[in-house]
A and B are shown apart, each in its own frame.
Chain A
């Protein structure tokens, strides 16, 4: 896998650190769930890290917009939200960006341009078009990334959104993360045409199927497409091929219902961290020792994130009435 690399060793180290951080953060989230520190629905990004890292690193942070479904912990962290705040939100504590009212699926960092965090499959895709619409209305050159899963690619409202995005030339990129499973239903059992990027075709939207596992490749593709959309002010549909190494959610405790252990094992060759480690070694970018040192450093960092988040208090009961309206109280009592 020796190749001519377009990214500098510093950049590559940054991606490696970010991917390790997400991997370990997500593993810790699963621990939080198993030990009762996090509840509800919890969906982790293990196996999909290269997609988030490659795409978010290609944006103008603080200017561009990002919106996603519910497997989202990585996005705010990559955009600059304090990981402790994210972990606190996942634990339902007041130091989360939504003061514990959002949880794992509903993390937002509006000042940094991260718009959540939505739990109805496909339901956030028109909101992504709306963000892009606002940028265009104001004649700003912001690009919107709208991440969705392969399951959402069948939703009616997504087709409606593609039509509007093309009709009005909205600068939005729909990134279908094809991790091969819509919850427990395999791609070929839920999509009549499994080439999901072709969803763009009937609307005349440029569309491509891309790799989501080699972060360096992802970064190159992402930068090329984001630059094109910013320049041309038109939508784009991308299908990114990655793989979910974990259950749909933390409560998905029987993966044998939809895949074999052998399949997971085979896919480990595609693990984005495995691929990046190999590239770095073969191109003499980083020694194995340094990688291990970075991994243990980040492991400690995540332990620290976890314990700091645990120190954040639960909300006061009176907060249940806050933030329903901007300007009026709600009635109190049962």
Chain B
């Protein structure tokens, strides 16, 4: 099985699906001639030409809305947000247009469209470019929201997203682009379904629930905990909407303890939703309150020292596990 970076896995998924279906096209800022700000679309302009790899003006509401219109008649746009932070400008098109079409038309039309791009902290991009918005989007009925943590999932879930007939928000943490892993690209037909969590690491004493880059943070925390004789299970949620609560609850029924870890602002982030559900559904299995580790509730500062203070790390996770005993 080939080893690919997360970035190359995404690109391979785009290539597979563009080869498979001529109605798939890409649109976004600097994705063509400039090869993509994070190089996910490198080489695709030369391969597919200007009609299928479209350099958009810097107008997120405009090109996102245009993609919604094209999707309503069956084209399959893959919209790149240079960073998910810029998708804030297009919120009206995502929430008022894309997410509402199937319902408002009484099922006459749907929006087979993907909005993908880096979400979360990169490296000193400061306050306006570091948002984790997946929790906002996962709040909206009509959208699907996925947050792959590994190259194999990036590949398999992007293919699933492009084939999906509903609007999908696909978040790539910029800290993951260089991550390497085995990716089953050989057949071209490997896909990863939405709504199925993955046990990233088995354990018996505590369940760490995470998604996107926080999965590797939890794996590092599990290594540290193991040295102290604590066996942590890591559940990689993979998709927020739909959410596989079954796998999360089954793990907690085994370990009787849970800590939810997410990079988004701690207050009101999607981890709070997961924690609330665990509280509602797993009360009898829990030996301790549900723990929660989130990003600091501050606008991300530029200073690397301060930025690192904002992002949860393995030591924060270990401390949260110790806190619940």
Contact = CB atoms under 8 A, between A and B. Distances in A.
Interface in B164-197: 164-166, 195
Interface in B91-117: 92-93, 96-97, 102-110
Interface in A116-134: 116-120, 123-134
Given A67-B69, A120-B92, A133-B66, A126 B61 contact: yes
Contact of B51 (A137, A160, A164): A137
B69 A127 contact: yes
A110 B109 contact: yes
User: How extensive is the interface on chain A, given as a class?
Assistant: 35 or more
Contacts of A131: 69-70, 72-73
Contacts of B141: 324, 330
Given A108-B108, A123-B93, A137-B25, A324 B102 contact: yes
B131 to A, nearest CB: 21
A97 interface: yes
B71 interface: yes
Interface string B141-170: 110100000000000000000001110000
Contacts of B88: none
A182 to B, nearest CB: 18
Interface in A315-334: 322-328, 330
A101 B106 contact: yes
A96 B25 CA distance: 34
Contacts, number: 150
B303 interface: no
A67 B63 CA distance: 17
B22 to A, nearest CB: 9
Contacts of B96: 119-120, 123
B5 to A, nearest CB: 31
B142 A108 contact: no
Contacts of B92: 120, 123, 157
B105 A108 contact: yes
Interface in A74-131: 96-102, 106, 108-111, 115-120, 123-131
B75 interface: yes
B268 interface: no
Contact of B106 (A97, A133, A330): A97
Contacts of A118: 97
Interface string B40-77: 00000000000100101101011111111111111100
Q: Of residues B23, B54, B70, which shows the largest number of chain A Cβ atoms within 10 Å of its Cβ?
A: B70
Contact of B65 (A106, A115, A127): A127
B213 to A, nearest CB: 26
A134 B108 contact: no
A130 B67 contact: yes
Contacts of B62: 126, 129, 157, 160-161, 163-164
Nearest to B64: A126
B242 interface: yes
Nearest to A125: B65
B57 A98 contact: no
A36 interface: no
B238 to A, nearest CB: 15
A238 B57 CA distance: 24
Given A127-B72, A137-B75, A96 B106 contact: yes
Given A123-B65, A157-B61, A161-B62, A130 B70 contact: yes
Contacts of A115: 69, 72, 109
Contacts of B107: 99, 322-323, 326
B106 A126 contact: no
A110 to B, nearest CB: 4
A102 B104 contact: yes
Nearest to A170: B66
Nearest to A156: B61
Contacts of B144: 325
B61 A130 contact: no
A111 B56 CA distance: 30
B191 to A, nearest CB: 14
B51 A99 contact: no
Contacts of B108: 97-98, 108-111
19 contacts: A97-B108, A106-B105, A110-B105, A115-B69, A123-B93, A126-B65, A127-B68, A127-B72, A130-B69, A131-B69, A132-B69, A157-B93, A161-B65, A164-B57, A324-B103, A325-B142, A325-B144, A326-B166, A328-B195
Given A130-B65, A134-B75, 18 more contacts: A99-B107, A110-B105, A116-B104, A120-B97, A123-B65, A124-B65, A124-B97, A126-B64, A127-B65, A127-B69, A130-B66, A132-B69, A160-B59, A160-B62, A163-B59, A326-B102, A326-B165, A330-B141
Q: Which 8 A-B pairs have the closest CB atoms?
A: A130-B69, A126-B65, A160-B62, A98-B106, A127-B69, A160-B59, A323-B107, A130-B70
